[in-house]
Structure 1
Amino acid sequence: DMFLIMATRMGTVKKTVLSAYGNVRKGGINAINIADGDSLIEVKMTDGNNDIVLGTRSGFAIRFNEKDVREMGRTATGVRGVKLTKGDIVVGLLVIKRQGTVLVVTEKGYGKRSDINDYRTTRRGGKGVITVKTSDKAGKMISLMEVMDNDELVIISTKGMVIRQSVKEMRVMGRNTQGVRVIRLNEGDEIADIAKVVPEDDDTLPDEPTL
Structure 2
Amino acid sequence: LAAADFIAKEQPIRTFDTSTDGVLRLFTSHGACLTLRVEDIPETKPQAKPTNLSAVFELEQDEKLLAICDEDFSVGKVFFYTRGGLVKCTEASEYITKMKRIAAVNLKEGDGLVRVEYMRETTADSSILLVTEGGMSIRFASDTVPVTGRASAGVKCIKLDDGDGVIFAGHVPEEGELLVATDRGYMKRSFIFDHEIQGRNGKGLQCFGFKKNGSNGTRIAAVMHVTDPLDLAAVQKDGTQTVFNTEEVRIEPRAGRGQPMVMVLMDNTVAELKKTDSSAKNNAEKNPI
Q: Same fold (TM over 0.5)?
A: yes
Choose the corresponding residue for 2:223, options 130, 134, 144: 144
Matched pairs, number: 208
* Unmatched runs of 5 consecutive residues or more in structure 2: 1-74
String of CA shifts for 1:181-201, please: whole Å, max 9, x gaps.
Answer: 111122211111112345488
- Mapping 1:12-51, distance limit 5 Å: 12-23=86-97, 25-26=99-100, 28-46=101-119, 47-49=121-123, 50-51=126-127
- The match for 2:76 is 2
| 2:111 partner amino acid | D
Corresponding residue of 1:69: 145
Distance 1:45 1:68, change over 3 A: same
Q: Which has the higher contact order (CA 8 A, sep 6+)?
A: 1
How much does 1:24 deviate? 5.1
Q: Residues 203, 160 of structure 1: CA spacing in aligned structure 2 closer, same or farther, 3 A cutoff? A: closer
Q: Tell me, what secondary structure is at the counterpart of 1:41?
A: strand
Equivalent pair of 2:88/2:145 in contact (CA under 8 Å): yes
CA distance in 1, matches of 2:104, 2:238: 33
Matched, 1:114 2:194: no
Q: SS in structure 2 opposite 1:19?
A: helix
Please identify, of 63-72 and 156-165, the stretch whose mean Cα deviation from structure 2 is larger.
156-165
Secondary structure at 1:143 match in 2: strand
In the TM superposition, what is the alpha-carbon distance from 1:104 to its structure 2 partner?
A: 0.8
User: Does the 8 Å CA contact 2:174/2:192 hold for their aligned counterparts?
Assistant: no
Q: Which of residues 214, 222, 232 is equivalent to 1:153?
A: 232
Larger Rg belongs to:
2
Output the amino acid matched with 1:186: L
Matching residue of 1:100: 176
Give the TM-score taking structure 2 as reference length. 0.67
Whole-angstrom distance in 2 between the partners of 1:24 and 1:87? 39
- Show structure 1 runs of 5+ residues with no match: none
2:177 maps to a residue whose letter is T
Which structure: greater helix fraction? Answer: 2
Cα pair distance change 1:195/1:201, threshold 3 Å: closer
Q: 1:69 to 1:194 in 2, by over 3 A?
A: same
Report the Cα distance in structure 1 between the residues aligned to 2:189 and 2:248, rounded to whole angstroms: 10
* 1:133 maps onto 2:212 in alignment: no
Q: Please give the secondary structure, in 1, of the residue aligned with 2:143.
A: helix
**Counterpart Cα distance in 2 of 1:166 and 1:111:** 12
RMSD: 1.9
CA distance in 2, matches of 1:205, 1:99: 20
